[in-house]
Amino acid sequence: MEEGVVNEILQGPLRDVFDSKQLITDISGSGNNWAVGHKVFGSLYQEKILEKLRKSAEHCDCLQCFFIIHSMGGGTGSGLGTFLLKVLKDEFPEVYRFVTSIYPSGEDDVITSPYNSILAMKELNEHADCVLPIDNQSLFDIISKIDLMMNSGKLGAAIKPKSLVTSSTGVFKKRQEKPFDAMNNIVANLLLNLTSSARFEGSLNMDLNEIIMNLVPFPQLHYLVSSLTPLYTLADVNIPPRRLDQMFSDAFSKDHQLIRADPKHSLYLACALMVRGNVQISDLRRNIERLKPSLQFVSWNQEGWKTSLCSVPPVGHSHSLLALANNTCVKPTFIDLRERFIRLYKKKAHLHHYLQIEGMEESCFTEAVSSLSALIQEYNQLDATKSMPVEDLPRLNIAM
Amino acid sequence: MSIVTVQLGQCGNQIGFEVFDALFNDSHCPGGLCSKRENEAYQASCKERFFSEEENGVPVARAVLVDMERKVISQTLSKAARSGRWKYGQHSCFCQKQGSGNNWAYGYSVHGPRHKESIMNLIQKEVEKCDSLSGFFIIMSMAGGTGSGLGAFVTQNLQDQYSSALKMNHIIWPYGTGEVIVQNYNSILTLSHLYRSSDALLVHENDAVHKICAKLMNIKQISFCDINQVLAHQLGSVFQPTYSREGSFHYRRNPLGDLMENLVPHPEFKMLGVRNIPQMSENSLAYSTFTWAGLLKHLRQMLISNAKMEEGIDWQVRPPLSGLPPLGKMSVNKETHFNTSIANLVILRGKDVHSADVGAFKDPALYTSWLEPVHAFNVWKTQRAFRKYEKSAALVSNSQSLVKPLDMIVGKAWNMFASRAYLHQYTKFGIEEEDFLDSFTLLEQVIASYCNL
């Protein structure tokens, strides 16, 4: 809802990739106010957005899903973004809605981000098919780790410039890049790997609709924690099996998750492993067997693994792994968000900016926070089953 | 008589290619340890069953390829065309773009009715090319969405439309852990539906074939291609032509009919498994020799101890003393248990095959009490060797060997069902809890029937 970012894209190296007729901008921005984004710009631009969506959809032989990419803490992405979610659901009910959401970190400079996030969460709960939460702090930590590795020269042989997940032009030092480019590159790679099996051949394909089918056991529990490995490769191209196995181990470590979470110490509802490159089914099975004992799966899904093999590796790598986990380790993020919200809301700080928008009332806030509480409660109930022994239920008795 | 193969989904199409490739390569294998005339008759018989001819002389597989997304079929078609020796008909494919999302309900209730006409038309065209039809061989997996759901739908329609033709479904049993999370739901829905509409279910378990690749073929990094090739070898050893009578040089004309007649005497018992020995890497083959006595001894012990390959056989398992009832009814939980059969078919190919003595398979202790060995056991012997194996012995059996895997799948599906997990994905497309319960009931019945043999 302001022109700066979109204009930059139109002047940058990717300007030909985007159809300029499919861009919608306004002047003043949403002022980091979810209500402005959702209610004001929502109603203002609904028709225009729908028209452009329909036009894009017409070009598709078979439309399978929408990717919505936004942040939770701001005004446009959060407000208008979630408004769009409802529009998509009504207009294209059969098409899946995949949302990549950047959650605000602890040290977030937008004061109203807790309000925006909670209001957006309610929409995500109700209208998204699948959400991949990501937070800036985790991305930043990952980038720092890579920098540290490179600078310390610990790895002996030089790292191939193109081998970094984050480097796009082959120049890894002296970036003239914007500060967020490296972090965003990681998210870009996430989406790339997510769709790799749909774009390239492999011996065990996995489409986007399969992700939803396998990883969303109950409609409300559709938040997936993601991790990407490896983040760099060594100059040595001939990767022996131990390095390959390291890739699998890393995928489960809390340092590789794209959100502050520790899946290993929480409960798994389901897990998907999407492998690219020269990896075969036996490698996959070996690693699942190896890692399984250290992971806790919910009682009714002890073998809750979904796997895919895509033959084509990402550029500069010989193989890569994307792990998506439906795991109760998202709970702390939500609890944290709720805390921050409550601290702000108790003092009614900045509330007038929202309430002065037509259509906004205090009930919007209370409904949003109870929606989040209900979600947290679901995760609590699952966590309670964590240490219980797994028993087989009595089966049907057949009279012979 | 000809067999029309229907390949469904990624699994069905990837396997289908390997099967036709194995059949073709074997029938054009030089030598074969028999006379030129026999060889030519073998080739002709194989061709009649599996390939039709096109104008330029390249054999075309008698197959219909179905998938709900394009990539696998394109790959399959081009792999066959590249070989230059045989190919698929370019109009024998049905493709869509969106896939089935590993959702049995979507494959069965959405894709099925939507594309029924197109798919059945393709099959009809293939059937018309046959002088006479022995039946259908349907290759599918249970774990996914297309092979399982659409496969069940297609099989049902084949039963309606071609009621006098036989249907054998080749089913791939998924790995015990994790290919697809909802694989157990998809499996029970598939099995229960197929049990009602198919004539026989020939099962290959991924876990078992994987072990063969690891232990016998010595493959270090096992790929699905390796697995499918081992599988294709086993199927080839069953489906390639066999003599109709001992000493005659006429090959059997009705492969599916003969298989069903020998192996499925009762409609309650349809689950068939196949074992084939020896199976090894080509390098080892050059240095190995076998005797029929040795092969048959191993094969028999594999049968009664329920081993799926010739390594690690438990020689302690013995049949109960004849005349006495078996030691208690089969319990799924006991580790070593004697595997009772309903029917067995031994198929021998190669040198000196007529000297092979299969008497040990005629022991009534191997079989359930309500069937005499003379009805329960059959052997087909053919001089012509299979691929590079001087002697090859295959055993197709209808026995208790699939009870344990079936019980495991039903158990896991039941646990998941009790928590209602993932059910919304199925009810969205018209498969209700009742349908699940029906499936559970039918399969518990099958398990009980097999246990009580």
Angle (CA) A152-A157-A159 rounded to 5° is 75
* Rounded Cα gap, residues A294 and B87, in angstroms: 48
Contact residues on chain B for A280, CB-CB shorter than 8 A? 221-224
Of B178, B221, B418, nearest to A303 by CB-CB distance is B178
Q: Compute the nearest-CA separation of B230 from chain A (Å).
A: 15
Q: Indicate the burial class of A116 (C-beta count within 10 angstroms; 0-12, 13-18, 19 or more).
A: buried
Give the percent of chain B with pLDDT over 90.
63
Compare CB distances from B71 to A201, A281, A300 and report the shortest one's residue: A201
Query: Is the Cβ pair B101, A398 closer than 8 Å?
Result: no
DSSP A183-197: HHHHHHHHHHHHHHH
- The residue with tokens 């059997």 is B252
Tell me the CA distances in angstroms from A55 to A60, A93, B98, one per residue in order.
9, 17, 20
For residue B6, list its beta bridge partners: B64, B138
Quickly tell me which residue has 């075969």 as its tokens.
A280
Q: Average pLDDT over chain A, rounded to whole?
A: 84
Please report, for residues B231, B237, B252, the alpha-carbon distance to residue B343 in angstroms, rounded to integers and kept in the order given. 22, 18, 20
A219 cis-preceded (ω within 30 degrees of 0): no
Q: Which helix (H) or strand (E) holds A281?
A: helix A281-291
**Alpha-carbon A41 to chain mean position:** 25
Determine the average pLDDT of the residues in B377-381: 91
HSE-up of residue B317 (Cα within 13 Å, Cβ side)? 22
The residue in chain B having the minimum alpha-carbon distance to the alpha carbon of residue A197 is: B71
Question: What secondary structure does DSSP assign to A99-115, as a single string?
Answer: EEEEE--SS-S-TTHHH
Distance CA A256, CA B109 (A): 40
Q: How far is B139 from chain A (nearest CA, A)?
A: 16
* A residues 2-21 lying closer than 8 A (beta carbon) to B: none
Listed residue (B90, B100, B86) closest to B12, CA to CA: B100
- Contact (Cβ atoms closer than 8 angstroms) between residue B55 and residue B83: no
**For residue B176, which phi and psi values (nearest 5 degrees)?**
-60, -40
Of the candidates A75, A172, A162, A92, the residue with the CA atom closest to the CA atom of residue A127: A92
Which of B98, B101, B219 minimises the CB distance to A213? B101
Per-residue pLDDT at A159: 47
Q: Which of A 31-70 lie inside 8 A of B, CB atoms? A: 61-62, 64
At a CB cut-off of 8 Å and minimum separation 6, what does B179 contact?
A: A204, A305, A306, A307, B143, B206
Task: Work out whether strand B200-205 and strand B271-277 pair parallel, antiparallel, or are unpaired.
Answer: parallel
pLDDT of residue B335: 56
Interface of B with A in 385-414 (CB under 8 A): 410-412, 414
Does the distance separating the beta carbons of A205 and B221 come in below 8 Å? no
Three-class secondary structure assignment of B194-211: HHHHCCEEEEEEHHHHHH
Contact A285 B177 (CB under 8 A): yes
Q: Which of residues 315-344 of B touch A (CB under 8 A)?
A: none
Residue of chain A minimizing CA distance to B178: A305
Between B24 and B249, residue with greater pLDDT: B24
Rounded Cα distance between A57 and A78, Å, is: 23
Is 70 exceeded by the pLDDT of residue B401? yes
Interface touch A205/B69, C-beta < 8 Å: yes
B contact residues 73-132, partner A, Cβ 8 Å cutoff: 75, 96-99, 101-103
For B103-145, the DSSP string reads: -HHIIIIIIHHHHHHHHHHHHHHHHHT-SSEEEEEEEEESSSS
Rounded to the nearest 10 degrees, the angle between the axes of helix A241-251 and helix A281-291 is 50
The three state secondary structure string of B239-252 is HCCCECCCCCCCEC
Span B19-74, pLDDT tens digits: 999 999 998 887 777 888 888 888 888 989 999 987 678 899 999 999 998 899 99
Vertex B315 angle, CA B362 and B334, to 5°: 95
Q: Which two tokens stand for residue A262?
A: 């520790």
Which chain B residues are Cβ-neighbours of A299 within 8 angstroms? 415, 419
User: Is the Cβ of B445 closer than 8 Å to some Cβ of chain A?
Assistant: yes
Instruction: Report d(CA B177, CA A303) in Å as an integer.
Output: 5
pLDDT tens digits for range A301-356: 988 899 999 999 888 788 899 999 999 999 999 999 999 999 999 999 889 888 98
Does residue B326 have a pLDDT over 70?
no
The verdict on a CB contact (< 8 Å) between B181 and A215 is yes
| Phi, psi for B403 (deg, rounded to 5) | -65, -45
Cα–Cα distance, B7 to B4 (Å, whole number): 10
pLDDT for B207-225, tens place per residue? 999 999 999 888 888 999 9
- Chain A interface mutation, best of B180, B189, B442, B446, highest count of A Cβ atoms under 10 Å: B180
Contact state of B145 with A212 under an 8 Å Cβ cutoff: no
Query: What's the confidence (pLDDT) of residue A244?
Result: 84
Q: Are A243 and A231 in contact (CB under 8 A)?
A: no
DSSP conformational letter for A316 = T
Least confident range of A228-242, B109-123, B424-438: A228-242
> How far is residue B445's CA from residue B268's CA, in Å, rounded to a whole number?
9
Q: How far apart are CA A302 and CA A310, in angstroms?
A: 25
Q: DSSP string spanning B25-40?
A: HHHT-S-TTS-HHHHH
B218 and chain A in contact, CB less than 8 A: no
Q: Which A residues, 210 through 229, put their C-beta within 8 Å of a C-beta on chain B?
A: 210, 212-219
Quote the ipTM score: 0.86
Query: Per residue of chain A (400 residues), what is the pLDDT tens digit?
Result: 777 788 877 788 877 787 777 778 777 788 888 888 888 888 888 898 889 889 888 988 888 899 999 999 888 889 999 999 999 999 999 899 999 999 988 777 888 899 999 999 999 999 999 999 998 889 888 888 877 776 665 444 444 444 555 544 433 444 445 668 888 888 888 999 999 988 888 888 888 899 999 999 999 999 999 999 887 654 434 445 567 888 899 899 988 899 999 999 999 999 999 999 988 888 899 999 999 999 999 999 988 899 999 999 888 788 899 999 999 999 999 999 999 999 999 999 889 888 988 888 889 999 999 999 999 999 999 998 887 777 778 888 877 6
Contacts 24+ apart (CB under 8 A), A153-156: A155/A234, A156/A234
Give the number of other Cβ atoms within 10 Å of residue A195's Cβ: 18
- Can you tell me the distance from the alpha carbon of B149 to that of B115, in angstroms, rounded to the nearest whole number? 13
Residue B336: pLDDT band (50, 70, 90) is low
**What is the pTM assigned to this prediction?**
0.91
pLDDT at A400: 63
What average pLDDT does the segment B233-237 reach?
A: 95
pLDDT given for residue A150 in this prediction = 67
CA distance A41 to A30: 8
Lowest-confidence region among B255-269, B296-310, B322-336? B322-336
pLDDT (average), residues B283-289:
81
Cβ of B102 within 8 Å of Cβ of A214? The answer is yes
| Contact between A272 and A323 (Cβ < 8 Å) | yes
Residue B280: pLDDT band with limits 50, 70, 90: confident
DSSP helix/strand/coil, B254? coil
pLDDT grade for B121, boundaries at 50, 70 and 90: very high
- Distance in angstroms between the alpha carbons of the first and the last residue of chain A: 70
pLDDT at B321 > cutoff 80 = no
